[in-house]
Structure 1
Amino acid sequence: MEIKTLAATLAVALVTGACTTSPKVVAPTSAAEVGEVRAGSGYLKGYLATAELADSLALLPAPPAADSPAYAADTATFRNLTKQQGTPRGAMAVQDANLHFPEAASVFSCALGVQISEQATPNLNMLLRRTLTDAGLSTYKAKDKYVRTRPFVVYKTASCTPKEEAFLAKDGSYPSGHSAVGWAWALVLTEAAPDRADAILQRGRAFSQSRAICGVHWQSDIEAGRLVGSAAVARLHANPVFNAQMAAARDEIAKARATAAPQSPACATEAATISGSALTAP
């Protein structure tokens, strides 16, 4: 009798469950609805709570010691890559330094093959704006612990973004926040458009290398930043709003491709610039 009662109860539960649907997760596309990290900053709140951020201090070793081979390699790379300032690749590095939207939305447009904007692709645009915060903030446990001096300060040289030098001189160099952000963007966009993975990842790598060209990060900062960016994206996959926004962004990409105009000559120039600088970038 007990088995029959249990079976009947399960049957009712199954029927009831089949008629009940989970509430649909809505991913906001309005900056006003999401809100800023700090009023007037232009940076939106991320998907992750502070306790959910990747722990860069736990993930990373200490930066290279001044008498180590790794530090010598950092120095050699600094001298090598900063020579590209004033070239077309240097101009790209200046553009890559700008994390503010709407300008930053265009960074991956050529690699993706779709113009990214708040108007044309609101979910894709929001995906980038919010993951920027999650990846960037994930670097600060290690930044605040090590407070590594940036190369342009050590060698008393100019960077390619002189207006930011006063702030950067006080902000820890290790790991690179820009590198974490750029690599997180590349991973997110690769997931949204896997057929464009090679071009997107190449652009993500170039974005992070731009920080060495500008002289504001050591190569080890950049490599550590990529690791933190990867960890941030891994954390994001447990967030339902991120996943909903990702699904909506995929749909936007598909629709945009269906009506896309031919890529501008600027995209061919960008690809050639990245390819041409690859020989001198480690």
Structure 2
Amino acid sequence: MRFTTLAAPLAAAMLLGACGSTAPTSPAEVGELRPGSGYLKGYLPAAELPDSLALLPAPPAEGSAALASDGATFRALTALQGTPRGALAVQDANLKFPKAAEVFSCALGLPISEQATPNLNMLLRRTLADAGSATYKAKNNYNRTRPFVAFKTGSCTPAEEASLAKDGSYPSGHSAVGWAWALVLTELAPERADALLQRGRAFSQSRAICGVHWQSDIENGRLIGAATVAKLHTNPVFQAQMAGARSEIAKARAAGAVPAQDCSAEAKALTASALIAP
């Protein structure tokens, strides 16, 4: 009984706090992680990010069956480079906005942009920082060699290879970001849940196709993405931005808005690789 009597006032107080919070939609107001980087600050202070080092096991050990499986997946999925699915993987590598806003447009069935859906666009930009940053305790601790370096092959983004080779592979930051995006969008548009989650999974698998992450990097990156979204739900600014984004989605659907890109081509590329993707 005591819990019941306390729960209602507490829930009401949290709701009022979220409603009273502002959710800026201006990049200038939010600010960048590093000046000139183009990446905006997240919602969570560093101390509130999930602890990836505490949450994740160590990456597969040398000579283990798990590492052998990682190698087999690398060989299978990098074979898709040069195909339409490989081309989509190259597009998925780009986390810079406004281009990155297109990743989930087809799955959502709506265009996403700073002009048309400012709250939704800001949600993606800021959760990118939170989910990506949350991977770095484990990344920096393990400093795992990336597969394209280990196998002395190329990747699907040659211009990024020098910087990627210096950045730990485990867990995958892209995978954490993509899965966090998929979970957030699924909450906003539950009627599109299957398509959104499938696109989130494909987004993370693009990193294996590109040869820049092991499969175990990707799977554990998704875990950190999910942990980040759980933490974000305690943040009142995030909650307020979610409310704004939900309203934008409803208005866009009512207006008959549709994605600008070729969604049939994306669907074909994803379907063609479905049978071999782990």
Q: Please give the TM-score of this superposition, normalised by the length of structure 2.
A: 0.92
Quickly say closer, same or farther: Cα 1:197–1:218, change in 2 above 3 A. same
Residue equivalent to 1:156:
152
1:228 is aligned to 224
Partner of 2:234: 238
Show the counterpart of 2:27: 31
1:274, distance to aligned residue in structure 2 (A): 1.0
Matches within 5 A, 1:1-282: 24-261=20-257, 266-282=262-278
1:260 Cα shift? 2.1
- More displaced stretch, 101-110 vs 21-30: 21-30
Distance 2:64 2:208 in 1: 19
Residue in structure 1 matched with residue 10 of structure 2 by the alignment: none
Distance across 2 between alignment mates of 1:212 and 1:219: 6
Q: State the one-letter code of the partner of 1:68.
A: S
Shift of 1:261: 4.2
- The 4+ residue runs of structure 1 with deviation greater than 3 A are 20-23, 261-265
1:259, distance to aligned residue in structure 2 (A): 1.2
CA spacing shift, 1:41–1:70, aligned 2, 3 Å: same
Amino acid of the residue matched to residue 135 of structure 1?
A
Summarize the Cα distance change of 1:262–1:115 in structure 2 as closer, same or farther, 3 Å threshold.
Answer: closer
Q: 1:168-188 CA distances to partner (integer Å, 9 max, x unpaired)?
A: 000000000000000000000
Q: Could you tell me how far 1:271 is from its partner in structure 2?
A: 1.5
Q: What amino acid is aligned across from residue 183 of structure 1 in structure 2? A: W
Cα 1:84–1:230, aligned 2, differ >3 Å: closer, same or farther?
same
1:43-65 per-position Cα deviation (integer Å, ceiling 9, x unaligned) = 00000000000110010000001
Provide the C-alpha distance between the structure 1 equivalents of 2:107 and 2:190, rounded to a whole number of angstroms. Answer: 12
Distance 2:140 2:178 in 1: 21
Q: Is the 8 A contact 2:18 2:236 kept in 1?
A: no
Pick closer, same or farther for the CA change 1:33–1:156 going to 2, 3 Å: same
Whichever residue aligns with residue 80 of structure 2, its letter is: Q
Q: Which amino acid aligns with 1:267?
A: C
- Larger of the two Rg values belongs to structure: 1
Question: Taking structure 1 as the reference length, what is the TM-score of the superposition?
Answer: 0.91
Stretches of structure 2 lacking an aligned partner (at least 5 in a row): 1-12
The total of aligned residue pairs comes to 264
Q: 2:109 touches 2:258 (CA, 8 Å); kept in 1?
A: no
Distance 1:249 1:65, change over 3 A: same
Name the % identity: 75
Classify 1:57/1:251 alpha carbon distance in 2 versus 1 (closer, same or farther; 3 Å). same
In structure 1, the gaps of 5 or more residues are 1-16
